[in-house]
Structure 1
Amino acid sequence: MSFLLLVFSLQGSTSEDIDYLASGLLIEILEHIGSKKLIIARISFIGFSLGALVIRAALWRPEFEAFLGNLHTFLSFGGPHMGLMCHSRNLFKTGLWLEQLFDKSVSVSQMAFTDHKDPRQTFLYKLSQKTGLEHFKNVILVSALQDHIVPYHSTRIEMCKAALKGDEIGTVYTEMLRNTLEPILNNKNCNFVRYDVSFDVPKSFNSFIGRTGHCAFVSSWQFLENFFHNAGLKYFE
């Protein structure tokens, strides 16, 4: 029996359609299992940033259905699970608008809920309706206040102040939150944990725009060593 741990981050392909990236991830998983002729006892995932969404988008596909009973731990570092909706920083909103104007990134459009005029037809809303995280034994979400790229509430999959206004965006956000959280919380065998971490971020342009705080999840070996030594490893036992 084998234990499969997949650490997924994206380099050079972050502008692609999330569904397309999920398809590529699933092909890699199935080819690895098939080529090694593995009999899988547990499958765990560690996802950073957009990678966490790609993992979720792979879980509901029919090709993965046979492995849902083997899912063990899902660990998300700075994952934009609720997208970039309701971002509180005007600087980031301006940067996001400029990126969509000039870069035409599909994944950014999906995270910003601009991939469809009807918010309930957007990729992330539909993803919230799919099966996935509730099949894990452990769902661990790690967030940092110094991360100004992904909204704090999005990383933690929780309510935000902007969604309480009662407008259409707030209603859609609330529905997404319910779609994503309720199956996890209703599974008594699923251990759902949120961790807040703090980084000592030096003052720089990247720290000002929040990039340093976001990337520190994977760029700081000291953080990773401390996190897994003090908290993370027990979820993979």
Structure 2
Amino acid sequence: EVRQFVKDWAPGGSLSRLSFVAHSLGGLIVRAALPHLKDLWEHLYLFMTLSSPHLGYMYNSNKLVDAGMWVLKTWRRSLCLQQLSMTDAKEPRDCFIYKLSKEQGLSEFKFVALVSSWQDNYAPFDSARIEVSSKAAQDAKFGPVFTQMAKNLLGKVNPRRLIRFDVNYKIPEKNLDTFIGRAAHIQFLENQVLMRMLLHCYAPLFK
């Protein structure tokens, strides 16, 4: 799909910059695709993710969401959720999320922008920011794996080229979607004010 897009919009080797803006699992999909696009790495410019669980779904404070994920993993046999919660293998370092963190490509981008919100429980705040949480630091079992994944991802990324955005939404409605964090997760796609702010205040990233 990426190659077809480049072929349609930058024919004849006219490609100058190639950027990716992805929401939720889209951020992981882009990262998984990068090793297959090595011939385009010299054109990589911006990698921006909107609430993507880069470090999986290991540390979350919403028990209702945790319960829902357990049901889906147990009864629906959801491989995606097993991978996100790092239960798709007995050894954490054999899990998909950990192996993906070791893949190259992220450091090839000129800019890496990670957009997150503490109101979003679908993608844990620290996971979306690729930061080591206090819970991870205190977890003797999975904490070292969580920390190593963060190092794998950002170890070669220039800190001056790394941008983290913390979004605080004003959501007046008080309903189930708000409580479980789904409302904030969807706001990353529907909130036009956020999109205009990013385009206006950080215009060089999109030129």
Query: Would you say same fold, with TM above 0.5?
Result: yes
Q: After superposition, where does 1:23-34 map in structure 2 within 5 Å?
A: 28-34=1-7
Q: 2:44 corresponds to which residue?
A: 71
2:7 & 2:179 partners in 1: Cα distance? 46
| TM-score, normalisation: structure 2 | 0.92
Q: Secondary structure at the match of 1:110?
A: helix
Letter in 1 for 2:144: T
Distance 1:156 1:38, change over 3 A: farther
Q: 1:169 corresponds to which residue?
A: 142
1:32 & 1:220 partners in 2: Cα distance? 26
Letter in 1 for 2:43: N
Q: 1:156 corresponds to which residue?
A: 129
Q: 2:81 corresponds to which residue?
A: 108
Unaligned runs of 5+ in 1: 1-27
- Cα deviation digits, residues 87-144 of structure 1 (max 9, x gap): 2222221111011122222222111111111110111100111102100001001111
Q: Tell me how far 1:168 sits from its aligned partner.
A: 2.0
Which of the residues 122, 128, 139 maps onto 2:101? 128
Q: 1:6 corresponds to which residue?
A: none
* Cα RMSD, aligned residues only: 1.6
Q: 1:198 corresponds to which residue?
A: 168
Equivalent residues of 2:114, 2:163 under 8 A apart:
yes
Q: 2:23 corresponds to which residue?
A: 48
2:122 & 2:7 partners in 1: Cα distance? 37
Q: 2:116 corresponds to which residue?
A: 143
- Larger proportion of strand: 1
Q: Secondary structure at the match of 1:82?
A: coil
Letter in 1 for 2:179: F
Q: Does 1:183 align with 2:156?
A: yes
Q: Tell me how far 1:166 sits from its aligned partner.
A: 4.6
Letter in 1 for 2:64: L
Q: Secondary structure at the match of 2:155?
A: helix
Q: Tell me how far 1:70 sits from its aligned partner.
A: 0.7
Which of the residues 209, 212, 225 maps onto 2:196? 225
1:151 & 1:134 partners in 2: Cα distance? 23
Q: 1:81 corresponds to which residue?
A: 54
Q: 1:216 corresponds to which residue?
A: 187
1:91 & 1:164 partners in 2: Cα distance? 24
Unaligned runs of 5+ in 2: none
- Cα deviation digits, residues 17-58 of structure 1 (max 9, x gap): xxxxxxxxxxx1123334563421110000000001000000
Q: Tell me how far 1:193 sits from its aligned partner.
A: 0.5
Q: 1:25 corresponds to which residue?
A: none
In percent, how many aligned pairs have the same letter? Answer: 33
Q: Tell me how far 1:174 sits from its aligned partner.
A: 1.1
Equivalent residues of 2:83, 2:96 under 8 A apart:
yes
Equivalent residues of 2:199, 2:206 under 8 A apart:
no
2:136 & 2:119 partners in 1: Cα distance? 22
* Number of aligned positions between the proteins: 204
2:62 & 2:109 partners in 1: Cα distance? 33
